[in-house]
Amino acid sequence: MTLSLGARGPVPGHGAAARLWQGDDVFVLGRPSDARVTALLAQVHGTPLTYDLAGMTADAAAGRDDDPPPGFRAVRASRTVGSGSDDFAAACDGIRRWQLHRGQGFRVEPADAAVAPGTEVVTVVRLGGPVHVLAACRIVWTVDEDDRFGFAYGTLGVHPASGEEAFVVERAASGDVVARVVAFSRPHHPLARLGGPITRRQQAVATEGYLEALDRHVHGAT
């Protein structure tokens, strides 16, 4: 397996990165404006990840048993989304174009964010009613092989959680195209800690939503 790794950032202490989540940067009322999201991208640019084990999802995303580090919770899900070369190409395209996110209504900025180590993005998710969540991440590793493609991003200071999430598609020897989502995370924002089971349920719904969105993309593209 060949991985391209981004910079490994330490856990922030009492500096600016540790304070970014405070206030109203994560949970906001109303749809965040383009200007606000652009300003947030500038705010988090180059700041450390909120955990110190960049790349920790790589083995689990390859289908190998791998427990999360102490204190982190694992979420794993996979689905066969097609078969053969055309479906594999469509699935890679879906990951490359952020269709796992956009296909379930998430907003990803910048709109043309490249799947490459170091790319920083902000995802905007509507929780319900006027409440939106802003989540800033940086791509920490990618894989681009003949039968495997994907990436993982790690959390920056403006995010309800702390940890890493991987999105990988693989073409098996049988020809089946299997998508896999793996997250190792823990609450970061106080509201996420207070949410407990509700927070975990939302994460599980989003994880299944990623796979459903990619499935729709593959079958709509082939």
pLDDT in tens, 82-125: 999 999 999 999 999 999 999 999 999 999 999 999 999 999 99
Mean pLDDT of 145-149: 97
For the chain, percent of residues with pLDDT exceeding 90: 64
105 in Cβ contact with 126 (< 8 Å)? yes
> According to DSSP H, which parts of the chain are helical?
16-19, 34-44, 58-61, 84-96, 99-102, 190-195, 197-221
For the chain, the residue count is 222
Q: Residue 25: its pLDDT value, please?
A: 82
Domain map of the chain by residue range?
3-221
Q: Residue 63: its pLDDT value, please?
A: 81
pLDDT at residue 28 is higher than 90: no
Instruction: Place domain 3-221 in its CATH homologous superfamily.
Output: START domain (3.30.530.20)
pTM of the model: 0.86
Q: Residue 119: its pLDDT value, please?
A: 98
Mean pLDDT of 140-158: 97
